[in-house]
Amino acid sequence: MLAVYHVIGVSEFSDRLPSALAGIGSVVLTFHLGRLMFNARSGLLASCVFASALMFAVLARGATPDSLLIFCITASMTSFVAGVAARRGGNLTASLTGVLAIRLQFKTMVFQCSLALACM
């Protein structure tokens, strides 16, 4: 965001530009991820649903770094899927679903432990 300030100057447009570009990039990467995992139609549907999600739309239009974080996470997942697909040459839906399930379970356990510690 600071790089945009130096190039364009400090304004509301320069505040929102990195988030908007990261939001567009996240939608494109979601399409690419869906295309790699399933097919182009699934990728298009996933990117349309992602782009129409209310919280994502709010974050992509705001002057916060949250949209940049979403873009970086989506880029890392897409590069992981592309790397595994290139190496195995097959469908990796089952392996990625397993990885995401483990990650979701870990985040849930961390959240529950933090709630328990906060209540003590």
Residue-wise pLDDT tens digits, 60-118: 888 888 888 888 888 888 887 887 777 766 555 555 555 555 555 555 555 555 544 55
Number of Cβ within 10 Å of residue 31's Cβ equals 21
This prediction's pTM? 0.72
Q: Report yes or no: 86 and 50 within 8 Å, Cβ to Cβ.
A: no
**Count of CA atoms in the C-beta half-sphere (13 A) of 14:** 11
Q: Would you state the structure tokens that stand for residue 115, as one six-digit string?
A: 């709630």
Q: Phi/psi at 89 (nearest 5 deg)? A: 70, 20
Euclidean distance between CA atoms 49 and 60, whole angstroms: 14
pLDDT band at 120 (very low <50, low <70, confident <90, very high): very low
Measuring CA to CA, which residue among 33, 118, 42, 36 is closest to residue 76?
Answer: 33
Give residue-wise pLDDT tens across range 28-40.
999 998 998 888 9
Give the three-state DSSP class for 38.
coil
